[in-house]
């Protein structure tokens, strides 16, 4: 039979086995992420780094004598690691919850996401500094070496052990949550933490322990993974995005669903490797898209709608800082003078990223949708523009426009899929969809893999202006930025923009007023994607390159960071944020491997201390000054009127 | 009579808006006392303040002599105060039985489970159903039932009759009367004065976040016009 379909049974079962093992890790990891999300409402992006800590923990224990030669410590093997490391990783998790994550429980999901992204960058960055990107080997323990010949395939004992132990751990977790008193507390606290506290249960401590447990599970997965995969600082980085997709597919509120989905997706991925190897990297994300269309709540999910009415905007209506006409002139004048004082290339970088951040702010700041995949639009446009200019020989302006068209099309498609869910799910979905574009760019031939598209010609604008001249190029970019900025200002001030803001403040109310909010969200998302594409395409021409970095999720995180640093939902915030971030990146460029650590720390510090952003904080200052003046005026007025009436009496 | 709860000079805020403007009242041990008032008068906020769920507040809340105003909800609960919220707070991911057994026992002297099921026979039949599959009346029964076995001595009941059929309201009235016989202290928030009048030893009228009048049970007959004036919309 196998000969008929041209696949050898060894290959088929081999890949199925690998798929099942991956599935076990998916299940263990998505279980932790799902529990943490359910209880704490935190999208634990640092889960991948915590998994990596587990693997490194096992490796450390094995090499204890090498690290501390003088102490005569024994080398602790696999079984010790299995017993000790998850506990230690959980302890680290508890510490992280106490120090950082606790502070963002009551905040918008964006802060939790950015905080955990920052923590992941710090941890992975530190390990990268210490061990480089290369992997360490961890040998399979002697007691689990060897294998069984099943006739049609050879089954290594270690892999069998991972499958059995992983599934047992998953079902033990399921049992505790669904069938015990402790689990009842957890489920109740997920629904209504205040009431559970009012019954006398220390919910904050329970949250910390839940987080620690989820993290410990990641640590355990890390130890189990150490002998299979290489122990490297990056091992959890891309993994976490897949896990998010698994959680979206499984759906909210079902522990069993998380386990079943994880195992199933591992198997499907294995099968895809047999029949269509190129698609194996993206199959999970594609399945996610299909599931969203057919069953938005996820395969085992119970709910989709979680409207929340929190207003993330730091803007103050009527403030001078929101007067776009004024600032358009200011930017035009300042932008014209700028290249005579700073390096024009630096200026162009700021302008491109400022436009990108403004575009992102349109969807995140004005509609309140936590998009986390804008790299897809920025990068796709960069690739298409670069390809059009370099290979197809299109004139510069058409090359950029073709990039914008591509970004807009992808934006409309992704938006159509993603608006089915809200809140953190929206972030996970856009992130996972963006990952499809990323993997596509790695594999496609016209994108040239790791090299990207290089030496993109800048060409002539409308066949007249030579853009190889830096100043000409600069003023072109300035014009593009000003057009984009003006367009966004126009959009948010229009009646359409008012509806967007009403969705941000209270979607349910906007729906009850008769607005089809989904359509508004989709249009806004598409516009935002198109403008992000404008920034990406322009960037490809300016820097004459489109690369994988443009599509990487860090670019999406940068957009979020710039918007947050500047001030979410403010007109000027993204521009200020872009100036700060680009300046920082330029300054830190000399730090080498440390740059990721510094960047991650910036994320964390911003979330902890600069939540309203620079513009938002300044806006608060202006507001309180105005308030003071009004009070003073109010004090003076009664005194004056008292004087008047006294005069009147005498007169 | 020793006092179970004394509230003095209680002020409370939701963000910037002030909801409680110097609440003052007390409850003796074993008494049933109601807070009557219109919507938005601050009755629920008072209960939330007592439980520690309202963080921004000042003033004194003395429970059996101990000031609990600054305490966290979990501490307040463990001192022996139990809360039945207006929206009932039945957990949909828990079965009826799990809902019933969820609140931990904080002291001795709670009702044995058998007695509770005796008071609320419906719950025994439906113990395996999902909590929110119960009818509104049954959910209210469950919400009261689950705080009886914890050993708490002071029960805060927030509008237990809201939106329920008259026959269920009567049943709940019977339950509260039996709880009083058993020595529970009950602070009842109500808008349904006729229901409250039959049960309570004393009524406090709440307006704009403070107590504006106090009516003892035996004065009720003579004060009906006054009460009507307070409660009419």
3-class secondary structure for A97-121?
HHHCHHHHCCCCHHHHHHHHHHHHH
Residue B93 lies in a domain: yes
Whether B56 and chain A come into contact, CB under 8 Å, resolves to: no
Q: By CA distance, what is A182's nearest residue in B? A: B102
pLDDT tens digits for A269-283?
A: 999 988 888 888 889
Asked if residue A255 and residue A352 are part of one domain, the reply reads: no
Can you give the pLDDT at residue A353?
Answer: 95
Query: Cβ of B82 and A199 within 8 Å?
Result: yes
Can you give the pLDDT at residue A638?
Answer: 64
Please give the average per-residue pLDDT across A208-222, as a whole number.
95
Share of chain A above pLDDT 70, in %: 95
Please give the average per-residue pLDDT across A21-30, as a whole number.
94
Which of the two residues, A241 and B46, has the higher pLDDT score? B46
| A319: pLDDT strictly greater than 90 | no
Instruction: Enumerate the residues of chain A whose CB falls inside 8 A of the CB of residue B147.
Output: 199
Last residue in a domain, options A294, A322, A354: A294
User: What is the ipTM for the molecules in this complex?
Assistant: 0.93
Can you give the pLDDT at residue A212?
Answer: 95
Size of interface A-B (CB pairs under 8 A): 62
Q: By CA distance, what is B85's nearest residue in A? A: A195
Residue B67 lies in a domain: no
Asked if residue A126 and residue A272 are part of one domain, the reply reads: yes
How many Å from the N-terminal Cα to the C-terminal Cα in chain A? Answer: 115
Q: How many domains does chain B have?
A: 1
Last residue in a domain, options A294, A311, A333: A294
Q: How many domains does chain A have?
A: 2
Q: By CA distance, what is B48's nearest residue in A? A: A198
Asked if residue A360 and residue A279 are part of one domain, the reply reads: no
Which of the two residues, A635 and A569, has the higher pLDDT score? A569
The residue written with tokens 């059929």 in the block is: B165
Q: By CA distance, what is A253's nearest residue in B? A: B93
- Report residue A337 as tokens: 């003078």
pLDDT band at A139 (very low <50, low <70, confident <90, very high): confident
Can you give the pLDDT at residue B75?
Answer: 95
Residue A331 lies in a domain: no
Can you give the pLDDT at residue A532?
Answer: 96
- Report residue A643 as tokens: 């004087």
Using alpha carbons only, how large is chain B's radius of gyration in Å? 17
Query: Cβ of A191 and B101 within 8 Å?
Result: no
| Residue A31 Cα, gap to closest chain B Cα (Å) | 17
pLDDT tens digits for B113-163?
A: 999 998 888 888 888 899 889 999 999 999 999 999 999 999 999 999 988
Query: Cβ of A185 and B73 within 8 Å?
Result: no
Asked if residue A213 and residue A109 are part of one domain, the reply reads: yes
Residue B155 lies in a domain: yes
pLDDT band at A5 (very low <50, low <70, confident <90, very high): low
Query: Cβ of A188 and B74 within 8 Å?
Result: no
Q: By CA distance, what is B55's nearest residue in A? A: A194
Residue A634 lies in a domain: no
Distance (Å, rounded) from C-alpha A428 to C-alpha A630? Answer: 45
CATH number at residue A102: 1.10.3470
CATH number at residue B121: 3.40.50.300
Query: Cβ of B73 and A191 within 8 Å?
Result: no
Instruction: Enumerate the residues of chain B whose CB falls inside 8 A of the CB of residue A185.
Output: 102
Whether B10 and chain A come into contact, CB under 8 Å, resolves to: no
> Parallel, antiparallel, or unpaired: how do β-strands B17-28 and B66-67 relate?
unpaired
Q: By CA distance, what is A205's nearest residue in B? A: B74
Asked if residue A152 and residue A55 are part of one domain, the reply reads: yes
Please give the average per-residue pLDDT across A515-521, as a whole number.
90
Residue A351 lies in a domain: yes
Give the DSSP H or E segment for B207. strand B202-207
| A304: pLDDT strictly greater than 60 | no
Please give the average per-residue pLDDT across A70-80, as a whole number.
83
Please give the average per-residue pLDDT across A321-328, as a whole number.
83
Instruction: Enumerate the residues of chain B whose CB falls inside 8 A of the CB of residue A194.
Output: 53, 73
Can you give the pLDDT at residue A648?
Answer: 45
| A644: pLDDT strictly greater than 60 | no
Can you give the pLDDT at residue A641?
Answer: 57
Please give the average per-residue pLDDT across A230-245, as a whole number.
88
| A649: pLDDT strictly greater than 50 | no
Whether B82 and chain A come into contact, CB under 8 Å, resolves to: yes
Residue B79 lies in a domain: yes
- Report residue A326 as tokens: 């004024």
Which of the two residues, A344 and A153, has the higher pLDDT score? A344
Q: Residues with Cβ < 8 Å from B44, sequence gap 6 or more?
A: B86, B158, B189
The answer to whether the beta carbons of residues A240 and A116 sit under 8 Å apart is no
Query: Cβ of B51 and A203 within 8 Å?
Result: no
Asked if residue A554 and residue A416 are part of one domain, the reply reads: yes
| A627: pLDDT strictly greater than 90 | no
Query: Cβ of B93 and A197 within 8 Å?
Result: no
- By Cβ distance, the residue of A192, A200, A253 closest to B104 is A200
- By Cβ distance, the residue of A191, A202, A253 closest to B74 is A202
Residue A519 lies in a domain: yes
Can you give the pLDDT at residue A374?
Answer: 95
CB atoms within 10 A of CB B15: 7
Distance (Å, rounded) from C-alpha B222 to C-alpha A584? Answer: 77
Residue B21 lies in a domain: no
The answer to whether the beta carbons of residues A48 and A231 sit under 8 Å apart is no
Asked if residue A350 and residue A282 are part of one domain, the reply reads: no
Can you give the pLDDT at residue A448?
Answer: 85
- By Cβ distance, the residue of B74, B77, B94 closest to A184 is B94
- Report residue A142 as tokens: 């002697």
Instruction: Enumerate the residues of chain B whose CB falls inside 8 A of the CB of residue A253.
Output: 93
Whether B8 and chain A come into contact, CB under 8 Å, resolves to: no
| B97: pLDDT strictly greater than 50 | yes
Residue A648 lies in a domain: no
Please give the average per-residue pLDDT across B92-104, as a whole number.
92
Task: Tell me the range of A136-145, A208-217, A389-398 where mean pLDDT is highest.
Answer: A208-217
- Find the domain containing B171 and state its range: 30-54+72-231
Residues in a beta bridge with B187:
B33, B156
| Residue B222 Cα, gap to closest chain A Cα (Å) | 38
| A248: pLDDT strictly greater than 70 | yes
Residue B18 lies in a domain: no
pLDDT tens digits for A412-424?
A: 999 999 888 888 7
| A314: pLDDT strictly greater than 80 | no
Query: Cβ of A191 and B76 within 8 Å?
Result: no
- Find the domain containing A265 and state its range: 9-294
Asked if residue A262 and residue A368 are part of one domain, the reply reads: no
Last residue in a domain, options A294, A325, A358: A294
The answer to whether the beta carbons of residues A465 and A459 sit under 8 Å apart is no
pLDDT band at A317 (very low <50, low <70, confident <90, very high): confident
Instruction: Enumerate the residues of chain B whose CB falls inside 8 A of the CB of residue A311.
Output: none
Residue A486 lies in a domain: yes
CA atoms within 13 A on the CB side of A91: 6
Can you give the pLDDT at residue B233?
Answer: 60
Please give the average per-residue pLDDT across A85-111, as a whole number.
91
CB atoms within 10 A of CB A261: 29
Residue A567 lies in a domain: yes
Which of A407-411, A583-587, B104-108 is the least confident region? Answer: A583-587
pTM summary value: 0.86
Can you give the pLDDT at residue A423?
Answer: 80
The answer to whether the beta carbons of residues B89 and B76 sit under 8 Å apart is no
Query: Cβ of B74 and A192 within 8 Å?
Result: no
Share of chain A above pLDDT 90, in %: 42
Q: By CA distance, what is B88's nearest residue in A? A: A195
- Report residue A381 as tokens: 């446009």
Distance (Å, rounded) from C-alpha B187 to C-alpha B148? Answer: 14
DSSP state of A422: -
Query: Cβ of B74 and A203 within 8 Å?
Result: yes
Q: By CA distance, what is B100's nearest residue in A? A: A184
Which of the two residues, A14 and A91, has the higher pLDDT score? A91
pLDDT band at A651 (very low <50, low <70, confident <90, very high): very low
Asked if residue A271 and residue A374 are part of one domain, the reply reads: no
CA A250, A38, A239 angle in degrees (round to 5)? 55
Can you give the pLDDT at residue A3?
Answer: 55
pLDDT band at A109 (very low <50, low <70, confident <90, very high): confident
Task: Tell me which residues of chain A have a C-beta less than 8 Å from any C-beta of chain B.
Answer: 181, 184-185, 187-188, 190-192, 194-203, 253
- By Cβ distance, the residue of A184, A190, A194 closest to B102 is A184
Which of A26-35, A105-114, B100-109 is the least confident region? Answer: A105-114
- Computed over every residue of chain A, the mean pLDDT equals 87
For an interface test with A, the pick among B75, B87, B93, B100 (most A C-beta atoms closer than 10 Å) comes out as: B93
């Amino acid at each position: 039979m196998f000969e008929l379909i041209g696949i050898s049974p060894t290959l088929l079962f081999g890949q199925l086995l690998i798929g099942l093992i991956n599935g076990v890790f998916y299940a263990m990891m998505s279980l932790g992420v799902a529990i943490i999300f359910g209880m704490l409402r935190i999208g634990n992006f640092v889960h991948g780094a915590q998994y990596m800590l587990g693997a490194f923990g096992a490796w450390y224990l094995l090499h204890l004598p090498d690290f501390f030669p003088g102490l005569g410590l024994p080398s602790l093997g696999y079984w010790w690691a299995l017993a000790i490391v998850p506990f230690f990783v959980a302890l680290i998790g508890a510490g992280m919850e106490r120090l950082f994550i606790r502070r963002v429980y009551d905040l918008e999901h964006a802060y939790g996401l950015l905080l955990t992204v920052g923590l992941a960058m710090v941890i992975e960055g530190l390990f990268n500094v210490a061990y480089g990107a290369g992997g360490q080997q961890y040998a399979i323990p002697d007691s689990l070496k060897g294998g069984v010949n099943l006739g049609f395939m050879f089954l290594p004992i270690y892999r069998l052990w991972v499958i059995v132990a992983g599934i047992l751990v998953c079902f033990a977790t399921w049992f505790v949550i669904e069938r015990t008193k402790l689990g009842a507390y957890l489920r109740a606290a997920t629904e209504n933490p205040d009431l559970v506290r009012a019954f006398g249960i220390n919910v904050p401590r329970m949250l910390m322990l839940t987080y620690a447990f989820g993290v410990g599970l990641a640590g355990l997965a890390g130890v189990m993974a150490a002998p299979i995969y290489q122990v490297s600082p990056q091992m959890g980085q891309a993994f976490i995005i897949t896990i998010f997709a698994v959680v979206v597919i499984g759906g909210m509120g079902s522990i069993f669903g998380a386990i079943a989905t994880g195992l199933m997706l591992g198997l499907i991925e294995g099968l895809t490797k047999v029949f269509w190897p190129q698609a194996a990297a993206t199959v999970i994300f594609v399945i996610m898209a299909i599931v969203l269309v057919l069953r938005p709540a996820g395969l085992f999910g119970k709910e989709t709608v979680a409207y929340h009415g929190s207003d993330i905007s730091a803007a103050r209506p009527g403030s001078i800082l929101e007067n776009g006409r004024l600032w358009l002139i200011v930017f035009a004048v300042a932008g014209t003078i700028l290249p005579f004082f700073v390096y024009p290339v630096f200026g162009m970088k700021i302008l491109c990223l400022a436009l990108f951040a403004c575009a992102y702010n349109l969807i995140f700041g004005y509609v309140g949708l936590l998009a986390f995949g804008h790299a897809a639009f920025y990068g796709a446009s960069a690739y298409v523009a670069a390809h059009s200019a370099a290979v197809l020989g299109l004139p510069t302006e058409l090359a950029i426009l073709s990039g914008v068209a591509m970004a807009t099309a992808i934006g409309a498609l992704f938006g159509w899929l993603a608006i089915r869910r809200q809140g953190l799910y929206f972030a996970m979905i856009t992130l996972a969809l963006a990952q499809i574009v990323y993997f596509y760019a790695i594999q496609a031939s016209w994108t040239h893999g790791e090299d990207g598209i290089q030496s993109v010609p800048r060409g002539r604008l409308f066949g007249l202006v030579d853009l190889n001249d830096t100043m000409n190029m600069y003023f072109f970019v300035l014009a593009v930025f000003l057009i984009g900025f003006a367009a966004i200002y126009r959009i948010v001030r229009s009646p359409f923009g008012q509806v967007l803001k009403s969705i941000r403040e209270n979607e349910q109310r906007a729906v009850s007023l008769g607005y089809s909010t989904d359509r508004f969200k989709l249009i806004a998302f598409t516009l935002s994607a198109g403008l992000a594409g404008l920034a990406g395409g322009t960037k490809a021409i300016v820097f004459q390159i489109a690369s994988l970095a443009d599509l990487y999720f860090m670019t999406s995180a940068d957009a979020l960071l710039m918007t947050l640093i500047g001030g979410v939902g403010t007109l000027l915030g993204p521009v200020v944020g872009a100036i700060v971030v680009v300046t920082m990146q330029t300054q830190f460029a000399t730090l080498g491997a440390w740059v990721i650590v510094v960047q991650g720390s910036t994320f964390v510090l911003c979330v902890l201390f600069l939540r309203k952003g620079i513009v938002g904080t300044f806006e608060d200052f202006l507001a309180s000054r105005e308030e003071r003046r009004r009070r003073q005026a109010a004090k003076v007025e009664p005194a004056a009127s008292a004087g008047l009436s006294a005069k009147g009496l005498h007169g | 009579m020793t006092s179970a709860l004394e509230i003095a000079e209680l002020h409370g805020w939701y963000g910037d808006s002030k909801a409680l403007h110097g609440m003052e009242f007390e409850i003796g041990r074993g008494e049933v006392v109601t807070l009557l008032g219109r919507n938005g008068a601050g009755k629920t906020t008072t209960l939330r303040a007592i439980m520690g769920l309202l963080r921004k507040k000042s003033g004194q809340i003395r429970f059996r002599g101990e000031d609990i105003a600054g305490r966290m909800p979990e501490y307040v609960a463990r001192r022996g105060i139990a809360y039945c919220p207006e929206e009932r707070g039945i957990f949909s991911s828990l079965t009826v039985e799990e809902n019933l057994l969820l609140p931990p026992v904080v002291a001795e002297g709670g009702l044995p489970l058998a007695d509770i099921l005796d008071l609320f026979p419906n719950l025994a039949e439906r113990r395996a159903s999902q909590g929110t599959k119960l009818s509104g009346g049954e959910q209210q029964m469950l919400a009261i039932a689950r705080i009886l076995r914890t050993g708490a001595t002071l029960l805060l009941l927030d509008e237990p009759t809201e939106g329920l059929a008259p026959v269920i309201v009567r049943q709940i009235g019977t339950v509260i009367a039996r709880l009083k016989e058993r020595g529970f202290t009950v602070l009842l928030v109500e808008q349904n004065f006729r229901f409250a009048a039959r049960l309570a030893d004393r009524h406090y009228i709440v307006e704009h976040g403070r107590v504006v009048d106090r009516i003892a049970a035996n004065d009720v007959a003579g004060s009906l016009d006054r009460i009507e004036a307070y409660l009419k919309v």
